[in-house]
Amino acid sequence: MIKLQKIPFPTMVRLMNFYPPFIGAGVKIRLVDAKELSLEVSMPLKVTNKNYVGVHFGGSLYSMTDPFYMLILMNKLGRDYIVWDKLAFIHFKKPGKGKVKALFHISEEEVQAIKDAVHQHGKWEPEFKIDIKNEDDQVVASVNKTLWVKKKS
């Protein structure tokens, strides 16, 4: 079994493009900045991710955002920390038509604040918000993610 934490982040991003649920939905992951671990995730509207009324299926919209904050934070914090997805919700704002995309980034200041909070409280639950936008840069849906972070003993 391959442990994802042992694979360099850029390689992991390339491999995730072959993850069957992402292939089926047409999700594409692109590393925007290797140093900052910033990602762009996009998904065109196609028959495999279209709902009954002809717009993006809500589950596909959510799935295109699911693991990325956790993976970025795991890689930024390093192996001394445990990072899990804890909670998520999606707020649909308008029908998703055409290609949609989401940009993921966690700043070094946010990472340091998470480390400080874990040090002070023993664990921390950072919250992140990601907007999924259409080709006209309008928000189609907003996803709120809560992670759970703890330093390994």
DSSP class of 6: G
pLDDT digits (tens, 9 = 90+) for 104-125: 999 999 999 999 999 999 999 9
Provide the whole-model pTM.
0.92
Q: Provide the phi-psi class of 14: left if phi over 0, else alpha when psi is between -120 and 50, else beta.
A: alpha
Per the CB < 8 A criterion, the answer to whether 153 and 133 are in contact is no
* Domains located in the chain, CATH noted: 4-151 (3.10.129.10)
pLDDT exceeds cutoff 80 at 4: no
From CA 40, how far away is CA 51, in angstroms rounded? 23
pLDDT exceeds cutoff 70 at 30: yes
pLDDT exceeds cutoff 90 at 7: no
Number of H-type helices and E-type strands within the chain: 5, 7
Across 1-26, average pLDDT: 84
Output the pLDDT for position 1: 41
